[in-house]
Structures are given as C-alpha cells and as structure tokens.
Amino acid sequence: MNNKKLLFGLVIALLTVGVAVFYFNQKPSETTDSSENSQVTDLKSGQQDIPFGELPKAFPSTLPIPAGSKVLQNFSASTDGTVQSTRHMSTPQTLDQTISTYSTYFQGEGWQEISSKQVNANAKTLLLKKKEDTILVVARYNPTTKENSVEISLTEIKR
C-alpha cells in the first residue's frame, strides 16, 4: 500500500513539474501596458520583441510604411550567425499594391528579385536577395476581418 502511495505521489509531482515547465516556456502574452518602449527578450529562443514605434535594427530607415498602416508585431531573432528581423503590419493597400511597393523599393536599394508568387487568392509573396541576405515579403488578405496585412522578414547571415 505504501508503495502505491509513493508511486502516486511521484506521478503527481512529475505532472506538476511538467505543467510548470510548459507554462513558463510559453511566449509572453501581450500586456495592456500602454508603454511602447518596453522590450521583452525570450532568452530561450533568442527572440526580442521591438517596440512598435521602432524599426528592427537591420531594416532601412527609409522603409515605406503606407499611410494608414498599423504595426502589429516587430521582432528580431538570432541563432548561430543568422539574424531574422520581422515587421508585421496592417495595410490599406491591396495585395498587388503591397508587393509592387516593396519590390520597387528594395530593387531600388540594390536587392535582386528572386521570385514573386500568388500563393492563393488571399496571399502573395516576394523574395529578394542581396549577397547572402534575403527579404521575404508576404502580403495577405483576411476574408474574415476583410483586412490586408504585410509581413516583411529580413534574414541576415553574420560571419
């Protein structure tokens, strides 16, 4: 009988530890703090959230932001010599306008267009390259909310 109680207690303790590990490894949720200057770094993944009012460091300061756009997410993540910086924002532009805006801009900055594809009726992508670095632009339409968004990800190879 004592062995069963000991085994039961051990199982409960392991489950409790497992739940605690799962809970504490979750990405921090958005806070209702109105301060846009707070930064949160998830040390485990190397991801750093960037205040909405700032561009990720690697992004050019002249990056076009269409009037009426709203930043939804800004972050950078790094692993083993690679840094990925991403800005996700809503945009009043259509999918075609968004891809055209960023294709023209980045090609004017010396980036070479590798591909531009219509993924489906609600998404288009643009892939550009400069040396070993890449930029992926994903323009999306959400039929539920009837909103357009764009996600721009710059992947830099650091040596």
Residue 115: strand pairing partners: 127
Asked if pLDDT for residue 7 goes beyond 70, the answer is no
pLDDT number for residue 73: 86
Domain with 120, as residue range(s), is: 41-157
Kindly state whether residue 35 falls inside one of the protein's structural domains. Answer: no
CA 17 to chain centre: 30
Number of structural domains (the chain) is 1
Instruction: List residues bridging with 141 in a β-sheet.
Output: 148
Going 79 to 27 to 120 to 139, the CA torsion angle's sign is negative
Task: Answer yes or no: is 22 within a domain.
Answer: no
Identify which has the larger pLDDT, 125 or 27: 125
Looking at residue 26, what DSSP letter applies? S
Residue 14 lies in a domain: no
> pLDDT tens across 75-92, in order?
888 888 888 888 899 999
Strands (E) across 13-101 are located at: 41-42, 47-49, 70-79, 82-91
* Mean pLDDT within 101-123: 96
Q: Is the residue at 25 inside a domain?
A: no
Note whether residue 5 is domain-resident: no
pTM: 0.68
Q: Is residue 49 part of a domain?
A: yes
Pure H helices in 42-131: 95-108
In a domain, 111, yes or no: yes
- Long-range pairs for 18-21 at CB < 8 Å and ≥24 separation? none
User: Cα–Cα distances in Å, from 45 out to 4, 26, 27, 83, 124?
Assistant: 40, 11, 9, 12, 28
Contact 155, 131 (CB under 8 A): no
Pairwise pLDDT comparison (18 vs 87), residue with the higher score: 87
